[in-house]
Amino acid sequence: MLQGFREGAGRWITIAVLGLIAISFIFWGIDFTTLGTTFAAKVNGQEVSLIDFEREVQNQQSQYQELYRAELTDELRGELRRNVLERLIRQQALLDRIRTSGYQISDDRLTASIRTIPAFQVDGEFSIDLYRSQLLNQGLSPSGFESLQREQLELLELQQGILNSSFYMPNEFRRYLEVFNQRREIAYALFEVDTLLEKIFVNEADIEAHYALNEDLYLSEESVDLQYIEVLGSAIAEEVEYSTETLEAYYEEEKYRFQTEEQRKARHILFANGDDAELEIRAQMALMRIEAGEDFLKLADELSDDVGTNNQGGDLGWLGKGALEGPFEDALFIMEVGDTQGPIKTDFGYHVIRLDDIVFGDVQPFEAAKEELAVDYQNREAEELFYSLATELADLSFAAFDELETVSTQMNLPLKEVSNFKRSENASVFSFSEPVLQAAFSREVLELGENSALVELADDHVLILRVDAHYPSVQQPYEEVRAEIEEELARVQAEAEAFERVTSLTTLLREGGEGQVFTEEQNGNWRETVWVERTTTEIPTEILAASFRLEKPRGTRIFEHVAMTNGDQALLVLSTVEAGQPESVPREQRDQRLAQVAQQTGMYEFSGYASELRETATVRIPEEIFDPAFY
Amino acid sequence: MDEFLSEKEQLEGIRQWWRDNGWHLVGGITLGAAVLVGWNQWTAYEQRQAESAATLYQELRAAAIDDFDNEVADHLERLRINYASTPYADQGGLLMARVYLENNNIQLASDELRYVMERSADAELALVARLRLARVLTYEEAYQEALALLDIDAGMFSGRYNEVRGDIHVALGNPDNARLAYAQALTAGDSEMIDRVLVQMKLDDLPAVISPDPEINP
């Protein structure tokens, strides 16, 4: 190809190709990271970074563990990864739309929004010092944070656009009130199992037959006798001893906690755009103008190249030592309140500084801090002791293999016992029984008789256990379960009878009969015609729900059998449906409701927008992401 | 380079190469630089456009909240003329439609929604505008026109589209068609896109399909 270039055959091709190469290097450089999987997904060609994805998965996992105090199963973990990725893909699809559409937040609006974030404010005022240190804590650079914030604002612009323009038409709102405030006229009969139960007699033969047929339903629950040794951190702390000398030494170590640093409130004007010599001269001139009596704040607005502060009169907020670069700090911390100094050179450029206020540092003396120190000291020592005890317990139990008595003697810790410990008896014995159950009924402990591994109930509470005796599940003798079966069969029979009555009553009513007398004769409760609303509370919930699920009757009443959750049976009679009356709702309430539903409509629309974007996006997910071997 | 050639010959070789190729090289770099500069200026221009459009949209929003007058419509006109390629022209149209509705000017509201529906470069936003227009037309009792608008593949919006379709059939007195539309709305994919409780209520509000003859009624 180069030969071709030289011979001038493709002069213009040469020019074009070289140009393209130049452009591609300038814009994209060489990206080695595309070799191997560095992304969790590609959405319309844009990457969802693997780091962001794994970080988010981590967060969710630890939240889950905090909440349920248990490890995730592989299945749940897979589910969680899928959900997190799905959310990030949706987010990425939206971001892509924002970029291609051209939603734009200007620097001014970005700055203004950051300044209002309470986390960066001291006494309601933005502090650049706090801003930087907060970001440092989060592991973010200002430019990184600012671009994230910008993305969020641009997203919000799109979302708010859809929400703020949404509306609800008068006909829609009328219909909404009509169905929402609808009233229905019902009557019902309720036949209660408990009432019918009294007259039911179950044959002995039936009970025996049921037992014979369903033996495997009547098994005793498996249980174990447990032995365990525990280490409890809170018990250790109180026993840690200390002397005044140890506390004094501890005070010296921890002194920083009992001091407040000196803070200085400053303003600056920054000269950053241009070459050094020119900047220095401009800074000098600014200083002269200030000395001549011009207002510092106005000059900051006019001259400063620091976009973060120039609108605020150059205000940097309160600064502690170590917040800013050497020369700036050196100057600031020898100035007097009201002084203006400059030009001072830092990596940012040349500064003119004014010191507005000082809060001097303070030290809390040993005597005042003593009690707090003692508690902290005990906790710290106890923590170390707890870990060494826990480790020792784990080591000795592992060595002892299948008994804990020698461990108990060696460590001088009591060997505790629980007998008849069952899976279903969760709450009683241990503060947190899930991991105890897992350990006690594991193969190693239950079947092989080994000591368990260290079981963690809380950050400062661990134990080792073994199974002393195992009582497997056995068939329960007839006499023990007879009463239980009798009750069960009686209930089934009573439910059937109740249902029968509902059926007869339905026939009777259809033929034009009168319900109340029949119902009461049959030991049921008759509820005479009543108007109900969706919010009515005096009617059983199953009946109320059924009343509103029935279609509108055309001329005749509608009869519906309703099975209650406790086994009772009911017959519901729906006679009339009356639409809600919008006019009967107080004006103020109505307006409030209208604003609410209009806003809600907008939310459904935005949600449709985002989902549709996700559906139509081109998404590529590397297989490894959901391969358990990979994570 | 051939190592047997003398230094002079080598130098001559290099000169010859430069004479043959020098202009190509310089031309290529110049072209690259020109494209680069042009590209940068273009993106900077686009960004300025977008920022000005955003500002104008902010003003429109503020004006719309404050008080409605011709000034508001004027803002939108400027957005449409000067910043048609930005999303703010569409957003401005949607917002104006609401403002017109609040001032009871249904015709102008429909016009704005139709404009966004037909011209927006954002296909999903156009679907939002289409749905809104269908609802405004339903209010105007232009049912057939509204149904025709809704008769497209609305993707993830289909839940809402079906709900509105159901509303229209109710207004037309076609409970069976309404029932079908509401049922489709409830089965359509994601539950976040519609108010399921409300749609269920509308469905339950329909008159019974079954024969009123009590003998057949279960």
CATH tag for A262-360 (out of 3.20.20.70, 3.30.465.10, 2.40.50.140, 3.10.50.40): 3.10.50.40
Q: Do A5 and B205 touch (CB under 8 A)?
A: no
Chain B residues with CB-CB distance to A171 below 8 A: 138-139, 171
| Pair A331, A354: CB distance under 8 Å | no
Q: What is the pLDDT averaged over residues A50-66?
A: 85
Residue that wins the pLDDT comparison between A495 and A305: A495
pLDDT in the model for residue A2: 47
pLDDT in the model for residue B216: 39
**Per-residue pLDDT at A74 exceeds 90:** no
Helix, strand, coil percentages, rounded to 5, for chain A: 55, 20, 25
Entry field: residues in chain A: 631
In chain A, % of residues over pLDDT 70: 94
Q: How far is A89 from chain B (nearest CA, A)?
A: 16
Q: How far is A521 from chain B (nearest CA, A)?
A: 24
- Nearest chain A residue to B83 by CA distance is A102
- Nearest chain B residue to A158 by CA distance is B91
Lowest mean pLDDT among A332-346, A402-416, A526-540: A332-346
Q: Do B32 and A559 touch (CB under 8 A)?
A: no
Q: Do B95 and A552 touch (CB under 8 A)?
A: no
pLDDT in the model for residue A259: 74
Q: How far is A348 from chain B (nearest CA, A)?
A: 25
Q: State ipTM.
A: 0.82
Interface size between A and B, measured as CB pairs under 8 A:
184
Rounded to whole angstroms, the Cα distance separating A123 from A580 reads: 51
Q: How far is A127 from chain B (nearest CA, A)?
A: 27
Lowest mean pLDDT among A312-326, A478-492, A615-629, B139-153: A312-326
**Per-residue pLDDT at B90 exceeds 50:** yes
pLDDT in the model for residue A25: 63
Residue that wins the pLDDT comparison between A193 and A39: A193
**Per-residue pLDDT at A121 exceeds 80:** yes
Lowest mean pLDDT among A60-64, A203-207, A574-578, B135-139: A60-64
pLDDT tens digit sequence for A311-329: 778 888 887 777 677 788 8
pLDDT in the model for residue A428: 66
> How many CB atoms sit inside 10 A of residue A387's CB?
14
**Per-residue pLDDT at B10 exceeds 90:** no
pLDDT in the model for residue B5: 65
**Per-residue pLDDT at B149 exceeds 80:** yes
pLDDT in the model for residue A35: 40
Q: Do A104 and B50 touch (CB under 8 A)?
A: yes
pLDDT in the model for residue A629: 64
- Cβ-nearest to B139 among A157, A169, A559: A169
Instruction: Give CA B208 to chain center in angstroms.
Output: 40
Rounded to whole angstroms, the Cα distance separating A408 from A314 reads: 68
pLDDT in the model for residue A36: 52
- Please report which confidence band the pLDDT of residue B209 belongs to, taking 50, 70 and 90 as the band edges: low
> How many CB atoms sit inside 10 A of residue A542's CB?
16
- Nearest chain B residue to A4 by CA distance is B21
Chain B residues with CB-CB distance to A170 below 8 A: 139
- Nearest chain A residue to B87 by CA distance is A101
Q: What is the pLDDT averaged over residues A167-178?
A: 94
pTM of the model: 0.66
Residue that wins the pLDDT comparison between B135 and A523: B135
Q: Do B87 and A175 touch (CB under 8 A)?
A: no
Q: How far is CA A137 from CA A50, A113, A118, B75, in A?
A: 22, 20, 16, 44
Contacts 24+ apart (CB under 8 A), A622-628: A622/A37, A622/A39, A622/A40, A622/A41, A624/A37, A625/A40, A625/A41, A625/A53, A625/A81, A625/A85, A626/A78, A626/A81, A626/A82, A628/A74, A628/A78
Chain A residues with CB-CB distance to B95 below 8 A: 161, 164-165
Rounded to whole angstroms, the Cα distance separating B214 from B218 reads: 8
The amino acid occupying position B176 is: D
Tell me whether the omega of the peptide bond preceding residue A540 falls within 30 degrees of 0, making it cis.
Answer: no
Rounded to whole angstroms, the Cα distance separating A377 from A12 reads: 79
What are the residues facing A552 on neighbouring strands? Answer: B207
- Cβ-nearest to B208 among A161, A553, A600: A553
| Pair A342, A296: CB distance under 8 Å | no
pLDDT in the model for residue A176: 94
What are the residues facing B151 on neighbouring strands? Answer: none
Residue that wins the pLDDT comparison between B126 and A480: B126
**Per-residue pLDDT at A414 exceeds 80:** yes
Angle at alpha carbon of residue A273, lines to A291 and A152, rounded to 5°: 110
- Cβ-nearest to B94 among A15, A97, A165: A165
pLDDT in the model for residue A504: 93
In chain A, % of residues over pLDDT 90: 32
**Per-residue pLDDT at A557 exceeds 70:** yes
**Per-residue pLDDT at B2 exceeds 60:** no
- Please report which confidence band the pLDDT of residue A262 belongs to, taking 50, 70 and 90 as the band edges: confident
Q: Do A23 and B32 touch (CB under 8 A)?
A: yes
- Please report which confidence band the pLDDT of residue A198 belongs to, taking 50, 70 and 90 as the band edges: confident
pLDDT in the model for residue B129: 96
| Pair B213, A555: CB distance under 8 Å | no
**Per-residue pLDDT at A446 exceeds 60:** yes
pLDDT in the model for residue B190: 61
Chain A residues with CB-CB distance to B47 below 8 A: 104
- Cβ-nearest to A15 among B17, B31, B208: B31
Domain limits, chain A: 2-166+618-630, 182-200+478-578, 223-239+377-471, 262-360
Q: How far is CA A209 from CA A453, A486, B61, B99, in A?
A: 47, 11, 78, 76
Q: Do B24 and A555 touch (CB under 8 A)?
A: no
Mean pLDDT of chain B: 86
Chain A residues with CB-CB distance to B35 below 8 A: 19, 23
| Pair A228, A467: CB distance under 8 Å | no
- Please report which confidence band the pLDDT of residue B218 belongs to, taking 50, 70 and 90 as the band edges: very low
- Please report which confidence band the pLDDT of residue B109 belongs to, taking 50, 70 and 90 as the band edges: very high
Q: What is the pLDDT averaged over residues A441-461?
A: 88
Burial class of residue A619 (count of CB atoms within 10 Å of its CB; 0-12, 13-18, 19+): middle
- Please report which confidence band the pLDDT of residue A182 belongs to, taking 50, 70 and 90 as the band edges: very high
- Nearest chain A residue to B155 by CA distance is A612
Q: What is the pLDDT averaged over residues A333-357?
A: 84
**Per-residue pLDDT at A32 exceeds 50:** no
Instruction: Give CA A152 to chain center in angstroms.
Output: 19
- Please report which confidence band the pLDDT of residue B67 belongs to, taking 50, 70 and 90 as the band edges: low
Q: Which residues of A88-120 are buried (b: 16+ CB within 10 A; e: fewer)?
A: bbbbbbbbbbbeebbbbbbeebbbeebbeeeeb
The CATH superfamily assigned to B54-143 is Tetratricopeptide repeat domain (1.25.40.10)
**Domain A2-166+618-630 carries which CATH code?**
1.10.4030.10
In chain B, % of residues over pLDDT 70: 88
Rounded to whole angstroms, the Cα distance separating B151 from B162 reads: 10
| Pair A225, A468: CB distance under 8 Å | yes
Domain limits, chain B: 54-143, 153-207
| Residue A245 in tokens | 């000398």
Mean pLDDT of chain A: 85
